[in-house]
Chains A and B, each alone.
Chain A
Amino acid sequence: MLSYLSNPLRFMRFSAWAAPLFAALAALLFAIGLPWALVYSPADYQMGETARIMYVHVPAAWWGMGAYAFMGVASFVSLVWRHALADVAARAAAPVGATFAAVCLITGSFWGAPTWGTWWEWDGRLTSMLVLFIIYLGYIALWSAIEDEEKAARMAAILCLVGLINLPIIKFSVDWWSTLHQPASIMRAEGSSIDPSMMGPLFTMAGAYLALFAALTLYGMRTAIFRRRVEAAELRAGA
């Protein structure tokens, strides 16, 4: 699948229908997931209605990290096989991932204020997520600072791989330093501790975020490829 799509022409043909398809899927899942999560799902027995922030917060955190992992794979492919499409993919995913990380931090802050009694706490999970957000910003800034796009791609790929160190730190931060943020409750060896009635809306929202990520990344990649074609055509016309 991936090697099939590594041909830019085939990728453009694939993404021409895949990008709107993912966008429609995201719209559909949000249309189901948002009312289910925010109105029809049960309130938490302790936190009450505030617990509904979870359905916006947790998927943003998952795919904020997932987007970075995707960029890590793309950067690795770019460094090893020097594939131009991998650079385009990593670059297009970065603003989406940064936005998810920001959504996670902001909604987490809104959740923390009523339940923890503080907008911000310097615990391991919050700090490492903020570090992820800043790494995203550095990555995006590096891309736009280096004029030679080929070189920018290589440097950004190295930075992305170095930043991968942070992902396991975020994941295990709640086990290493247990402070305010709750530990993992879904992906646990002894099974999930979250009520089944909350799983449906949570996973629907997670699917919606993922479809949104796929759609926006594909659109971003298509825009970058179109831009390169325009630049190449301008060069040909000028010569």
Chain B
Amino acid sequence: MNAFSVTFRRDLAMMWSGGGALTPIGFFLGATLLVPLAMGPERSLLESAGPPLVWIAAALAVLATLERLFQADLEDGSLDQMLLSRAPLEWLVLAKACALWCAVGLPLALAAAPAAIALQAPVDRVAAIVLSLALGTAAFIGIGLVGAAITAGVKRGGVLIALIVLPFFAPPIIFGAAVASGEDVGAALAVLTGCALGAMALGPIAAAAALRLQAE
């Protein structure tokens, strides 16, 4: 447990101190800003098509944080220390994932509230959208761990991570968009919870397997 909380606090501190946690939020708001400019500000069009687009912006914002997630640890030797630790690597990877969710996932979900309102989502649906994105970013992070671990040794692997990870983002996006457009909200939230829990349970296992091989 101690190794978990130390890793968690270390990662959280590193993300906050560098201002790194603000960058994805800025990216997210910038991307949502472009939506009405691309679609035209016509209200009826935005009302029907706008809200699900916060999901695209959030997926891309999470994607942008993945490239350095394990690369820095691989370069400065932290990964070797984690492998020497008595705590299982899967556990430490989960700690890093939780830290990333607290530093990026949760703030993104909260930032989605004004963004969704600006994209003409009905105000009574905003709470569901925030909740769905809190779950969805957890799913994105769990899936993204695997892509980040596989490409940790690749210089400038950002586009490669996107190519590898984006197809696996499809299930959370499908159900997230259902929440954002107000269809079957309860059922979609239940499926999203399943996606988040499954990704957070299985992602660290696959990512840790890849990281062990990276360090060989």
Give the residues in chain A near B164, CB-CB below 8 Å.
Answer: 138, 141-142, 159
- Please determine whether B167 and A134 come into contact, CB atoms closer than 8 angstroms: yes
Could you tell me if B214 and A151 are in contact, using CB atoms closer than 8 angstroms?
yes
Q: Are B163 and A158 in contact (CB under 8 A)?
A: no
When distances are taken between beta carbons in the complex, the residues of chain B under 8 Å from A166 are 167
A162 lies within 8 A of B214 (CB): no
Pairwise interchain contact B167-A158, C-beta atoms closer than 8 A: no
Within 8 A of A (CB), among B182-215: 206, 209-210, 213-214
Q: Please determine whether A141 and B150 come into contact, CB atoms closer than 8 angstroms.
A: no
Interface residues of A in 139-175 (CB under 8 A from B): 141-142, 145-146, 148, 151, 154-155, 158-159, 161-162, 166
Q: How far is the CA of A146 from the CA of B149 in the complex (A)?
A: 13
How far is it, in angstroms, between the C-alpha of A142 and the C-alpha of B151 when the chains are bound?
8
Q: Does B157 contact A (CB under 8 A)?
A: yes
* A residues apposed to B, CB below 8 Å: 127, 131, 134-135, 137-138, 141-142, 145-146, 148, 151, 154-155, 158-159, 161-162, 166
Contact B163 A137 (CB under 8 A): yes
In the complex, chain B residues whose CB is within 8 Å of the CB of A155: 150-151, 153, 210, 213-214
The 9 tightest CB contacts between A and B, nearest first, are: A138-B164, A154-B213, A131-B167, A155-B150, A134-B167, A138-B163, A145-B154, A158-B210, A145-B160
CA distance A162 to B145 in the complex (A): 12
B170 proximal to A (CB < 8 A): yes
- Interface size classification for chain B: 10 to 19
B149-177 to A contact mask, C-beta < 8 Å, 1/0: 01101100100100110111010000000
Please give, as numbers and ranges, the residues of chain B lying within 8 Å of A162 by CB-CB distance: 146, 168, 206
Tell me, in angstroms, the Cα distance from A142 to B161 when the chains sit together. 9
Contact B213 A151 (CB under 8 A): yes
16 additional contacts (CB under 8 A) given A155-B150, A155-B210, A158-B213? A131-B167, A134-B163, A134-B166, A138-B163, A138-B164, A142-B151, A142-B160, A145-B154, A145-B157, A148-B153, A155-B151, A155-B214, A158-B150, A159-B164, A162-B146, A166-B167
* 9 A-B residue pairings within 8 Å (CB atoms): A138-B164, A141-B164, A145-B157, A146-B154, A151-B216, A155-B151, A155-B214, A158-B213, A159-B164
Cβ contact within 8 Å between B170 and A131: yes
Determine whether the beta carbon of B214 is less than 8 Å from that of A135: no
CA distance A127 to B166 in the complex (A): 13
- Which one of A138, A148, A151, A161 has the highest number of Cβ atoms from chain B below 10 Å of its Cβ? A138
1/0 per residue, CB under 8 A from A, across B107-132: the answer is: 00000000000000000000000000
How far is B123's CA from A110's CA once the two chains are assembled, in angstroms? 44
B216 to chain A, nearest CB (A): 8
Contact in complex: A151, B151 (CB < 8 Å) = no
Question: Which residues of the partner chain B approach A131 to less than 8 Å between Cβ atoms?
Answer: 167, 170
How far apart sit A138 and B154, CA to CA, in the bound complex (Å)? 14
A55, chain B: closest CB distance, angstroms: 29
- With A and B bound together, what is the CA distance between A135 and B146 in angstroms? 14
Inter-subunit contact A141/B163 (CB<8 Å): yes
CB distance from B49 to the nearest CB of A (A): 14
- B212 to chain A: closest residue by CB: A154
**Which residues of B have CB within 8 Å of A146?**
153-154
